[in-house]
Structure 1
Amino acid sequence: MTKKRQFETEAIRNQIPRSGFSEHTSAMYVTSSFVFDDAEDMRASFAEEKEKNIYSRYSNPNNTEFIDKVVAMEGAESGYAFASGMAAIFSTFGALLSSGDHILSARSVFGSTHALFTKFLPRWGIETTYFNINEAENLESLIQPNTKILYAETPTNPGLEVIDLEFLGAICKKHKILLVIDNCFATPYLQQPIKYGADLVVHSATKLMDGQGRVLGGITVGKAELIREIYLFARNTGPSLSPFNSWILSKSLETLSVRVDRHCENALEVAEYLEKHKQVNGVRYPFLKSHPQYDIAVKQMKKGGNIVAFEVKGGIEGGRKFLDKLQMCSLSANLGDTRTIVTHPASSTHSKLSVEERNIVGITDGLIRVSVGLENISDIVEDLSQALNN
């Protein structure tokens, strides 16, 4: 029996077969369609009696390689790749839910996911109830007879709350509902939700999976029978990932572990520095002992991730002032880049929420989110320091 390959090896050596040119790295298959040997080959392929690429909206060798890597990393059975993280989230819900179904979701979710739950899915008779992470003991009381999916991000964006995956997995198993986890912030290198009972795991591959701010992408992996439904939905609605982006993302996964290791090292140093600064009211980082869910984080995560959240003094104006004083760090809504990125959610990404809505999910007026990059740690700290001190 062949020994199971380790995470880093799988990320590098899991490749599609070489072509007749014997290339070392995988070839790029930028083609919209594929040809058949004869009429019978074409018939059998469309009848799905054989595995063969037909059309790149359905499958493509580059997509297959990217999917296979993430499936192996997450310990999943199957997967499907999408044009963006939100395409993955929408297609997952669109494929598995019907009118009259109910979603139970953690309140702290990405803004576009919140819009999907509150503005778009209700058009088709699909309702969502939110639960607060710090009141998880009340979770079971919110489950309804028509609850189909329990959904959560962990760590959350941008407040970095950590949810106990084992706890969620046990509840979903007891009530026979699907557990869907957004694992974008942790990546499969730091956390594998399927180990704790998740049925499906979704990612915005745009973030740490790419890691260099180049391409958009998304992916859902998990149980084969569920992915089959998602595949059929996506095959007919068309949100598939392009072969070029798949090729980029597959190559990026080869360095995921080394990049995330450095991201985490830098982020912990940033968090420890900020925790001592007189202009900072509080710091959130999963691997700080002061984090309210520190024990859960160290149980289910290898390291704390690359995102640090902190409260700068001065409210909204204090947050905007801090951003204006930064000299090196980028101001952007993205995250997971080699470059350190700083965001002030209250005046940008979450500005359309009311103050009350922001406070419910831990987004205070002075909250700053730092996606800690791969620059030398002394330069990152120096830029944050001068912006806080001036």
Structure 2
Amino acid sequence: MADCYALLIADSMMKGIKSMEQSTRAIHMGFPSLDDSHAAAIAMTSAYDFTSAQEASDRFNGVTEGNIYSRFTNPSVEHFERKLTSLENAEAAVAFASGMAAYLALAMTFLKQGDHVVLASGIFGTTTHLFRQYFGQFGITATCVDLDDQHAWQAAMCDRTRMILVESPTNPLLKVADLSWLSGLAKRNHALLVVDNTLLSPVNQRPLNHGADLVLHSTGKFMDGQGRTVGGVIAGRKDVIQPLKNYLRSSGTCMNAFTAWVLSHGLDTLTARMAMHEQNARKVEAWLRQQSCVKQVFSTFSPVHPQAEVIAKQQTGHSPVISFIVEGGQAAAWRCIDALNLVARCTNIGDTKSMVTHPASTTHCRYSQEEKLQYGISDGLVRLCVGLEASQDIIQDLGQALAASQVKHSLREVVSLS
């Protein structure tokens, strides 16, 4: 009966539209139903129609749930958030325009003048710069601590500490935090523990299960999987996510519907892709360890990793990010990078394509030279994210590039080094 009633209304509307001017008919023709669509549709709309003034008022004032405005309520974005919530074993999630927008939201929502933040040393340089430089202008202080030094973490805490922020594993040196231990430290000091889980994804680690209050992702990495989008997302308990959603409503740092649609489909293949990434990375990592011109390899695969017991306890898999130090410093590292044919020179990670970057001169260039030395970001360090190509092809390309890295210096390099 309801379907018949809807058809009668639609028929009546069409008869009315037919009597209108051409431009009016085009504007008010209506939309096709996508209820039977096999793939999720994209909610490409800025706003929503209300059945009455009362309904509009009720939604804006939180009396009833429903879409209001796409800056903070969009079906495609909410679909992605629900998927990520499930994968991270969270209660709720909120998506942002970028990973850095997510970090900005954390500070704007939970910090005020006089508050203190403890950051894991050596994390993404822009994150550290954001907290120390920009938030520092508003009276928020930040201390960097070696991720695996528990005494340093305890010493860094004070009565003004409101947030602990870590990447685990870190990028690019693959250090690992004991999340359960850090959770206890945070709770004793009434601080939020925020874990950036980008390098592992919820497939290989669920920080909330180990006591984290919030988990953050830069979604343009493994969640997208093909380097097509930029985005960020934070998941956790509802009572902690809701203030972030309130901030999003006022700030407008929202994820767009198309990006959310891409990411939702990316999550469908995330488990399969992470398994393929790890399978390839294990072979590449084992090969790198056998190369005489490679001084050191950093990964979470090795049984002699300093945090091997912690890795076994809290990770269900590994990141395909591997870093290695090339004999010969920056000149050799750059020769290696420049000689690559298959592996892309790119600062992103998580793509189907393998890619490398030189952290000291790119992602961590905002650290001082002293900080780079302290945190292990050496001039010869190369970061590799192993993609989904055939492993033997990746190894072959790395082999010829490493050989090229060890040739005699060119005249330009001799001059620059002298």
Provide the TM-score with structure 1 as the length reference: 0.93
Distance 1:162 1:218 in 2: 22
Offset of residue 140 of structure 1: 1.6
What is the deviation of 1:21?
3.7
Q: Which residue of 2 aligns with 1:171?
A: 185
- The corresponding residue for 2:206 is 192
Structure 2 equivalent of residue 41 of structure 1: 55
CA distance in 1: counterparts of 2:183 and 2:67, whole angstroms: 35
Asked if structure 1 preserves the Cα contact closer than 8 Å seen for 2:85 and 2:235, the reply is: yes
Q: Is the 8 A contact 2:42 2:258 kept in 1?
A: yes
2:381 aligns to what?
A: 367
**1:83 aligned partner:** 97
Q: Does 1:309 align with 2:309?
A: no
Q: Which of 70, 80, 87 lines up with 1:66 in the alignment?
A: 80
Residues 316 and 232 of structure 1: CA distance in aligned 2, closer, same or farther (over 3 Å): same
Residue in 2 that maps onto 1:123: 137
* Contact 1:338–1:375, Cα closer than 8 Å, also in 2: yes
Contact 2:125–2:366 (CA under 8 A) maintained in structure 1: no
Aligned match for 2:230, one of 216, 221, 225: 216
**Per-residue deviation at 1:358?**
0.8
Q: Does 1:253 align with 2:281?
A: no
Give how far 1:361 is off: 1.6
1:227-248 deviation line (CA, Å, top 9, x unaligned): 1111111110110000000000
Q: Give 1:308-387 correspondences, 5 Å limit.
A: 308-387=322-401
Pick from 133, 149, 168 the counterpart of residue 163 of structure 2: 149
Match of 1:98 in 2: 112
Partner of 1:57: 71
Per-residue deviation at 1:57? 0.3
Report what 1:278 is aligned to. 292
Cα offset, 1:134, TM superposition? 3.4
Q: Take 2:286 and 2:387, find their aligned partners in 1: how far apart are those partners?
A: 16
Q: For 1:133, what is the secondary structure of its paired residue? A: coil
CA 141–350 in structure 1, closer or farther in 2 if over 3 Å, else same = closer
Amino acid at match of 1:379: D
1:168 counterpart letter in structure 2: L
Paired residue total: 373
Query: 1:354: how far off?
Result: 2.8
Given the superposition, is the C-alpha separation of residues 145 and 19 from structure 1 closer, same or farther in structure 2, using an over 3 Å criterion?
farther
Partner amino acid, structure 1, of 2:363: T
What is the aligned partner in structure 2 of residue 298 from structure 1? Answer: 312
Cα distance in 2 for partners of 1:294, 1:368 equals 22
Provide the C-alpha distance between the structure 1 equivalents of 2:367 and 2:119, rounded to a whole number of angstroms: 18
* Matching residue's letter, 1:71: T
1:4 — aligned with what?
none
Contact 1:100–1:125 (8 Å) recurs in 2? yes
Using the TM superposition, give the Cα deviation of residue 142 of structure 1 relative to its aligned residue in structure 2, in angstroms.
1.5
Kept in 2, the 8 Å contact 1:263–1:373? The answer is yes
Alpha-carbon offset, residue 271 of structure 1: 0.9
When residues 172 and 290 of structure 1 are mapped into structure 2, their CA distance, relative to the original with a 3 A threshold, is: same
Verify the 8 A CA contact 2:340 2:398 in the aligned structure 1.
yes
**1:175 to partner: Cα distance:** 2.2
Query: What's the secondary structure of 1:134's corresponding residue?
Result: coil
Structure 1 unaligned blocks of 5 or more:
1-17
**Residue 8 of structure 1: aligned partner:** none
Asked if 1 retains the 8 angstrom alpha-carbon contact of 2:326 and 2:380, the reply is: yes
Q: CA deviation at 1:20?
A: 4.9
- Residue identity matched to 2:228: R
Q: Report the equivalent of 2:17.
A: none
Deviation at 1:19, TM superposition (A): 5.4
User: How far apart are residue 325 of structure 1 and its match?
Assistant: 1.1
Tell me by how many angstroms 1:276 deviates.
Answer: 1.1
Matches within 5 A, 1:12-27: 20-27=34-41
> C-alpha distance in 2, partners of 1:97/1:340?
38
Task: Tell me the distance in 2 between the aligned counterparts of 1:364 and 1:162.
Answer: 19
Q: Match for 1:242: what amino acid? A: N
Runs of 4+ displaced beyond 4 Å? none
Provide the secondary structure at the position in 1 that maps to 2:322. Answer: strand
Over the matched positions of the two proteins, sequence identity in percent amounts to 38
In 2, Cα distance between the equivalents of 1:278 and 1:61?
Answer: 54
Aligned AA for 2:401?
A: A
> For the residues of structure 2 that align with 1:313 and 1:304, how far apart are their CA atoms?
26
Using the alignment, how far apart are the partners of 2:311 and 2:239 within structure 1?
30
Matched, 1:137 2:154: no
- Which one-letter code corresponds to 1:200 in the other structure? L
CA RMSD of aligned residues (A): 1.3
**In structure 2, what is the equivalent of residue 268 of structure 1?**
282
Contact 2:125 2:367 in 1 (8 A): no
TM-score by length of 2: 0.87
Q: What is the match of residue 161 of structure 1?
A: 175
In structure 1, what residue type is equivalent to 2:305?
A: H
One-letter code of the match for 1:255? T
Query: 2: CA distance between counterparts of 1:355 and 1:244?
Result: 40
2:13 match: none
- Larger mean Cα displacement after TM superposition, 307-316 or 127-136: 127-136
- Partner Cα separation in structure 2 for residue 185 and residue 342 of structure 1: 15
SS at match of 2:148: helix
Residue identity matched to 2:377: I
Deviation at 1:263, TM superposition (A): 0.5
Query: How far off is 1:389 after superposition?
Result: 2.1
Residues 103-139 of structure 1 show CA distances to partners (whole Å, capped at 9, x for unaligned) of 1111121111011111100111111111112322231
Aligned equivalents of 2:282, 2:49: Cα separation in 1? 52
